[in-house]
Copies of this chain bind each other. A is one copy, B any other.
Amino acid sequence: MKILLVGAGGVGDAIAKIAAQRSFYESIIISDYDESRARRTRDWIVARHGEHVGARFSTAQIDASNSEAVAALVRDLAVTHVMNAVEPKFVESIFAGARAAGADYLDMAMSLSHPHPEHPHTQTGIKLGDAQFAEAQQWEAEGRLALVGMGVEPGMSDVFARYAVDHLFSEVEELGTRDGANLVVTDEEGNEIFAPSFSIWTTIEECLNPPVIWEQARGWYTTEPFSEPEVFTFPAGIGPVECVNVEHEEVLLMPRWLSAKRVTFKYGLGAEFIGVLRTLNLLGLDSVKPVRVRSANGPVEVVPRDVVAASLPDPAQIGPRMTGKTCAGVWVTGWGLDGQPREVYLYHVSDNAWTMAEYNTQCVVWQTALNPVIALELLATGVWAGAGVRGPESFDAKPFLDLMALPVEDGGYGQAWGLEEREPSVGVR
């Protein structure tokens, strides 16, 4: 296995750092539009693990928006697997480049959606991943695999869902991905500040798009942003967080392979963050349409959303001033193997103090990066195999979760996951 890692931003950097501790691949080419970022990641690996590990890593410059450039690099370097770790707007060009050059492909976010032109808050338009699933037959016919949505959410969440369906339930009512955290960022004086742990630009996009829901009787449909608020209690001391519907890949993936009455995704944004996003929308500050504004050098045109991003701390820089944990998981309701009502939350928690100490990476980014490395290892060892455009839930979940939880000294990733039994409310819901 020869991996082309596209993107050495936060998640790409963490993927390389995690993979540096594994031996399932021949080599990894870390590529970025700005090759110095790729070199910085490789330098960290050499400093941490020595030249013998660093020797399996090289760097390259890449233009991810150009599918032909991606294909050329894949061919030149005899790449077998393209690991996409850049912004979702580049999904289609990298996906096309990998296929053109005959490589397998993995990503952590799917091709972008476009709302329904007339009824955006009730009907879907072009859905997340539609552009990729449109080519599923060709990938399958060519015997190549595109494993899409293989981060933490989507990714680990889909693996949990498959595990629940196979091993915990006889019939599933709802597969509800639920994500929450208790992260706090402080300034130099130790005062808590508003500093999202991920790009506000992308968060605005994600949260203001119409959320999508799937129901067996209705198929996919959309709602108003921030719909169906619910307080979900997260484990590991995180506690109750206000969650709302957000457009996310799980809802588009799970129903294709798993049987459930309803599939949802709710993000634990918290009341404050939801309020901020609503206000940005109300004032038009989420807009990507430039406005004319005065400056010291005369009138200029800027995009309000860019100004919002520029006014906040850079999420890549806040790790050292952040404390707390982030939790990703799936809340499953239905009937257990014994036919009795059952409700469980399957989850994984990532602690910022630990990820910063071990990887110099903040915990949200690190948790995302963990999963594609495990998936690549399962593909390299032949435990997972297949062709076509496939979600994580189309593969057996058990070997993934076993390898993830196995202690490092026994050859695993040492990342325990949890199963919390909850008081079932099926039937009354």
Residues of A within 8 A of B (CB): 194, 275-276, 279-280, 282-285, 287, 290-297, 300-304, 306-308, 310-312
Residues of B within 8 A of A295 (CB): 290, 300-303
- Give CA–CA (A194, B286) in the complex, Å: 14
Contact A291 B311 (CB under 8 A): yes
Interface pair B285/A276, CB less than 8 Å apart: no
The docked-state distance in angstroms from the alpha carbon of A308 to that of B280 is 10
Structural contact, A310 and B285, CB atoms closer than 8 A? no
Inter-subunit contact A284/B311 (CB<8 Å): yes
Given known pairs A300-B297, A302-B300, the reply for A291 and B275 (CB within 8 Å) is no
In the complex, chain B residues whose CB is within 8 Å of the CB of A276: 279, 282-283
A308 contacts which chain B residues (CB < 8 A)?
Answer: 283, 285
User: Within the complex, what minimum Cβ distance (angstroms) separates A203 from chain B?
Assistant: 13
User: Which of B194, B300, B311 is within 8 Å of A287, CB to CB?
Assistant: B311
Question: Which of A276, A282, A307 has the most CB atoms of chain B within a 10 A radius of its CB?
Answer: A307
Contact B312 A293 (CB under 8 A): no
Q: Is the CB of A283 within 8 A of B311?
A: yes
Partner of A293 from the list B194, B280, B292, B302 (CB cut-off 8 Å) is B302
- 8 pairs across A/B with beta carbons < 8 Å? A283-B312, A287-B311, A291-B307, A293-B310, A296-B301, A297-B300, A302-B302, A304-B307
How far apart are A297's CB and chain B's nearest CB, in angstroms? 7
Q: Do B296 and A307 touch across chains, with their CB atoms under 8 A apart? A: no
CB pair A293–B275 under 8 Å, yes or no, is: no
- The smallest C-beta distance from A113 to any residue of chain B, in angstroms, reads 24
CA distance A135 to B396 in the complex (A): 83
Please name all residues of chain B whose beta carbon is closer than 8 Å to the beta carbon of A279 when the two chains form the complex: 275-276, 279-280
Known interface pairs A275-B279, A276-B279, A302-B302; A311-B297 also in contact (CB < 8 Å): no
Bound-state CA distance A287–B307 (Å) is 12
Smallest Cβ-Cβ distance to A293: which chain B residue:
B310
CB distance from A178 to the nearest CB of B (A): 25
Q: Collect the chain B residues with CB atoms within 8 Å of residue A280's CB.
A: 279
CB-defined contacts of A306 to chain B, threshold 8 Å: 293-294
A306 to B285, CA, bound (A): 12
A291, B309: Cα distance in complex, Å: 10
Q: How far is the CA of A307 from the CA of B301 in the complex (A)?
A: 10
A-B pairs with the 3 shortest C-beta distances?
A: A279-B279, A293-B310, A284-B311
Closest chain B residue to A285, Cβ basis: B311
- Inter-chain CA distance A279–B312, complex, in Å, is 12
Give CA–CA (A292, B311) in the complex, Å. Answer: 9
B287 touches A296 (CB 8 A): no
Residue of B nearest to A298 (CB): B300
- Supposing A300-B297, A300-B300, A300-B302 touch, asked if A292 and B310 sit within 8 A by C-beta, the answer is yes
Q: Which residue of the partner chain B has the closest CB to A279?
A: B279
A297-B300 Cα distance, complex, nearest whole Å:
9
From A276, A285, A294, residue with most partner B Cβ within 10 Å: A285
- A290-B295, A293-B310 known; 4 new pairs, CB 8 Å cut-off, are A284-B311, A285-B285, A295-B300, A307-B307
Tell me how far the C-beta of A185 lies from the nearest C-beta in chain B, rounded to whole angstroms.
Answer: 12
A295 to B290 CA separation, bound complex (whole angstroms): 9
- Quick one: given A295-B301, A304-B307, A310-B292, are A194 and B285 in contact (CB under 8 Å)? no
Q: B304, A311: Cβ atoms under 8 Å? A: yes
Q: How far is the CA of A263 from the CA of B294 in the complex (A)?
A: 39
Closest chain B residue to A311 by CB distance? B284
User: Which B residue's beta carbon lies closest to that of A312?
Assistant: B283
Assembled-state Cα–Cα distance A283/B273 (Å): 11
Q: How far is the CA of A171 from the CA of B9 in the complex (A)?
A: 69
Q: In the complex the two chains form, what is the Cα distance from A304 to B301 in whole Å?
A: 13
| Bound-complex Cα distance A279 to B275 (A) | 8
A381 to B276, CA, bound (A): 54
Expressed in whole angstroms, the minimum distance between the Cβ of A183 and any Cβ of chain B is 16
> Min CB distance, A279 to chain B, in Å?
4
User: Which residues of B lie under 8 Å from residue A294 when comparing CB positions?
Assistant: 302-303, 306
